[in-house]
A and B are shown apart, each in its own frame.
Chain A
Amino acid sequence: GAVVSQHPSRVICKSGTSVKIECRSLDFQATTMFWYRQFPKQSLMLMATSNEGSKATYEQGVEKDKFLINHASLTLSTLTVTSAHPEDSSFYICSALRGAPDTEAFFGQGTRLTVV
């Protein structure tokens, strides 16, 4: 199947610093990528939909100035958590949407962020 690479897989950062997470689709072009957050024992929650070449669409309650998304190419989207706080500690995961006729979302391996 298609491969989506997410990096880093794990990061620990100090409160107040920023962290960038990369999501790459390795063998197909993805005009649409999604960013999710998952807290322990909870489901994936969509944070934003990222479309190549345009501004991301954020879900209600997600601060766009805090979670900066850039989708500058058809194979790369980045999520930057700015001024991170301990409550931002979570599992962040991206997915890239392969379009018709075989529509499927492929997920990155996820990034476990711990803010200390």
Chain B
Amino acid sequence: GESVGLHLPTLSVQEGDNSIINCAYSNSASDYFIWYKQESGKGPQFIIDIRSNMDKRQGQRVTVLLNKTVKHLSLQIAATQPGDSAVYFCAGDNTGGFKTIFGAGTRLFVKA
């Protein structure tokens, strides 16, 4: 079945450094991937997405990389700020389906 998992449960970075959060997925049918950020007391918030016909997509301070060969996804956050402290989930879906399945999550701590 579908599963989306993360390599590291916690990540601690210095303010101003770049952060990289990794994610592995097992379902080859997944063709749409999303990163969500969840702050304490809030629901997950969309950060960036990528479809399987791409290998890189950039947003404001964030970049998502997709390696379909090894079924690996990563989120890069440039110049990490204290406001980036949160839990980050990768999620996978397939076009034509309604099931967005979440990975285990990585908690990002940003040290001032």
A and B: interacting chains: no
